[in-house]
Every structure is written in structure tokens, then in C-alpha cells.
Structure 1
């Protein structure tokens, strides 16, 4: 029985593409998919210092990994990454879209360029990623796509001026549901994960130490998530364990949205 249960989460022989794999949540989830058995194509900007480190950690664990440098706002970059993934690793069956940015500004003062850049990466970038991935999954009638949203797509964080970020993540949640319904009868599942406050490098900077205390205070479990705690939800949605789940937004927030 134990072996049967573990088999539900087994990703051996699956081929994954992870965007935003050079840092933070994307880096940990790329490694997590490899630990579950996936061969992983890691995609991030050319300026990402951690992309090669992600691939090397996967290889040190005995896994297969490739790196691709590109921009999720560029459809051609994504199409080429998918093409090379299929040539060098095999048929793409799992996609995890983590690329995104965050910043803050008062809505009444926010420059249009700031709004447009964040939307281009966080929302259009997820759409273009899903589009490129689905174009090879749909003809085979097999694949699962997981998009990283945020609890900020469902609630508004107190004291943080992020109308653009919150809107982009709400868009990711609804985009995932919309694609799930379009592709539900064609073998491709689409879900999203909405993390709460998480200890990524951005939140570990000394200058946000006081803000971290507020995040911990406001989370019912009394702390922020570690990036390790997002691996289980990602493996679940990528594996047979979630075979009847599509259009789901899995909130991983320590209970934050309950308050």
C-alpha cells in the first residue's frame, strides 16, 4: 500500500520545463521536480546568476538538467526553449511557470511603464509560457501546467501598495482556470499555486527585517513559509496524485486568507 501511494507522486520519466528557475521559488521547485524524478529544463533571464547553479544542483542529485536563457515576454524565446527541451530531453509533460517580479508604488503615482512592465512579465509572460507549452502537449493529449500566482491575487495585503502586482496575480489565477476549461477535454490540466509570505532571498534582505516580523505576526501559523514547503504542492499538482484536479488554485499561505 505504501508503494502504491508513493507511486501517485512519482515523476520518473517525466520531462519538465520551469520558468524563473534561477532564483527563489522557481529555483527550489525546479530542484524539487528533479528530486521527484523529472528531467528539468531550467529557463530564466540571461542576467540570472543562479540558473546554472540550479542545473548543477539537479545534476549533483543524479538528475538531468538543461538551461535556457530567455525572456518570458518573448514568445520566440519560449518556443525555442520548448523545442530544445523536446530534442534534448524528450516530450514535455510538466510545466511550472514561476517567472515574476514584485515592486510597490502608490496607485495614483505609479508610472504607466511600471504597471506595463510588471503585467508583461507576471501575466502576459505566464500566458505566453502556457501557450508555448500547450502547443506540444495538446496534440499528444497529455500534460500538466502549474502557474505560480499569489495569495495577493485573492486578498489585498495590508500596508503594501501593489495594485499592479495584486491585479497580475488575480489574472494568473483566472487565466489558469480559463485555460483549464479550454483544454479540459484535450488531456492538459492547468492549475495554480498561490503562496503566502515566503522566505525567498527578496524577503531575507536585512532592510526588510521589520516587515518580516509583521508578515509573521499576521500569518495564523505564526511564521513565513520556506521555499521547501512549496515543493509538495507543486509535485502534487504535477503528478498523478492530482489527476482529477484542473482549474484549482491551491493556496499555501499558513492560513493567512482565513483572516
Structure 2
């Protein structure tokens, strides 16, 4: 009797937004290692192309501004039925107290982190639903569930909470269409962004994490791979915490 490898992604194409670097690139790298063709979609076309070249055969880079619904729809139409896995990873953060938050900063954070996820889900997810199969994994955050001490990122928190509820809503809407929608909620992950925090603050956040350390991009990628694979075939509408226990205290 032949046993199916539930984690194998051979024959599937994965589109990863914000895929040119950081967590997005590690997600693409891991999905590719399990057989998927990967498309790195990034606002920086040069970086996307360079990252795809580094990944080698089976990887390509495309320019995509997720805040532009017309551009998102155009890419989805261009790719047609190719995309079987969508990972909405693109995101930004801007910190400021509410009374110092500029309108343009609020709108930028919500536009990338929430609107962009919706535009991509609508464009690619409806095509998946029409053909009766597909998986979507949205990158949320523990900041969509709790408020982190010593940082004021209200727009980011609100947008990520929206990503979680959007994922649940779409999961229910498309459940009987063969499309699964889930989210991953990372804590502090060791990236260029977390490297900008003051050492004292960074250490406090490590101390507040039961596992006592930041996570690695590869650990987020592993969670995304699981949810995108057939190993998670009965999982939809879930927000999977990848937080070293941070939200469990």
C-alpha cells in the first residue's frame, strides 16, 4: 500500500506576497523545498527578481502593489488557474501615539496589512472557489489578539485583528467550495524589523516569552507549510499562534 506524503506540494503553484525578503522569502523557500513552484510577488520588482534567481528553477518574481486592487486583479487574471496556494505575507508597521498618528500613516498600514489581504483573497480566492480547490494562508500577528507592552502600533494591531476575522469569514464562506483559509499569528520573529528595537525592550519581550527567545522566520514558514498542505485538510478558519507561548501567560 502506497502512503501519500501529505506535506508534498509537487504540482502546485504558490504565490507569496512580500516574498522578496524576510519571512516571505523563507516561506517561499520552504514551500519550494516541498515541490511547489513559487511566485514571489513584491512591490520591489528588482528584489523579487533577485530573490527568485537565488531560489533557482521553479521560482519567479513579479511586481505587485497589494494596495492596488486593479493591479491585484490583473495579476490574478494573468496567472489564471495556476495559483493553488496563496500566502498573504506583505505587511508594514509604523509606531506612534494616537495623537501623533498621521492620517497617511494609518491609511498606509491598514491599506497594506488589511486591504491588501482582502484584495488578494478576493482576486485569487474566488478563482480557487470556482475551480473547487485551493488554500490561503494569511499572516496575522499576536498583535491581532493582544496589545504588546512598550510599543504603540494601534493601526497595526487593528489591521492584524481584521486579518484574523477576515480569514475566519472567508473560511466559512468558501468551506464548501474546496478552499481552505487560515491565518498564522507570529510573535516576535528575528528579522530586520525586530533588530531596530532598543536592546532593553527586546530583552523584556524575550523575558515575557515562555520559550525565552525570538522566533525564526523558518518557524513561521513551517506553520504556513503545514496549513497549506494536505496534512491540514480538515483545518479552516483557524488562527495558529507561532509565538513561543507569549499569548499563553
Fold match (TM-score > 0.5): yes
Moved more, 156-165 or 210-219: 210-219
- Which residue matches 1:195? 186
Gaps of 5+ in 1: none
State the SS of the aligned residue for 2:185: strand
* Structure 2 counterpart of 1:128: 119
Q: How does 1:172-211 map to 2 (within 5 A)?
A: 172-205=163-196, 208-211=198-201
* Matching residue within 206, 222, 227 for 1:237: 227
What secondary structure, in the 3-state scheme, does the structure 2 residue paired with 1:135 have?
Answer: helix
Q: Number of residue pairs matched?
A: 249
Partner residue of 1:246 out of 215, 236, 241: 236
SS of aligned partner of 2:214: coil
Task: Classify the secondary structure of the residue corresponding to 1:229.
Answer: helix
Which digits, 9 at most, give the CA deviation of each residue in 1:115-161, with x for residues without a partner? 11111110001000101111321111100000000000001001110
Structure-2 separation of matches of 1:255 and 1:70: 34
Corresponding residue of 1:8: 6
Match of 2:51 in 1: 54
Task: Describe how 1:209-224 pairs up with structure 2 within 5 A.
Answer: 209-224=199-214
Alignment partners' CA distance in 1, 2:207 and 2:215: 13
Question: Secondary structure of the residue that 2:99 maps to in structure 1?
Answer: coil
Deviation per CA, 1:55-100: give whole Å up to 9, x if none: 12321xxx411211121011122123223334xxx62110000001
**Secondary structure of the corresponding residue to residue 189 of structure 1:** strand
Matched residue, 1:17: 15
The Cα RMSD (Å) is 1.7
The counterpart of 1:67, out of the listed 57, 61, 74, is: 61
Distance in 2 (CA, whole Å) between partners of 1:37 and 1:209 is 39
User: 1:26 touches 1:99 (CA, 8 Å); kept in 2?
Assistant: yes
- For structure 2, the residue ranges without an aligned partner over 5 or more in a row are none
- Tell me if structure 1 keeps the 8 A contact 2:49–2:62: no
Q: Per the alignment, in what secondary structure is the counterpart of residue 77 of structure 1?
A: helix
Report the alpha carbon displacement of residue 49 of structure 1 after superposing the two structures with TM.
5.4
| TM-score normalised by the chain length of structure 2 | 0.94
**Secondary structure at the residue paired with 1:71?**
coil
Aligned residue for 1:42? 40
Displacement after TM superposition at 1:41 (Å): 1.1
Equivalent position of 1:32 in the other structure? 30
Q: Which residue of 2 aligns with 1:163?
A: 154
**Consecutive aligned runs of 4 or more in structure 1 exceeding 4 Å deviation:** none
CA distance in 2, matches of 1:114, 1:129: 21
Report the equivalent of 2:104: 113
SS of residue in 2 equivalent to 1:50? helix
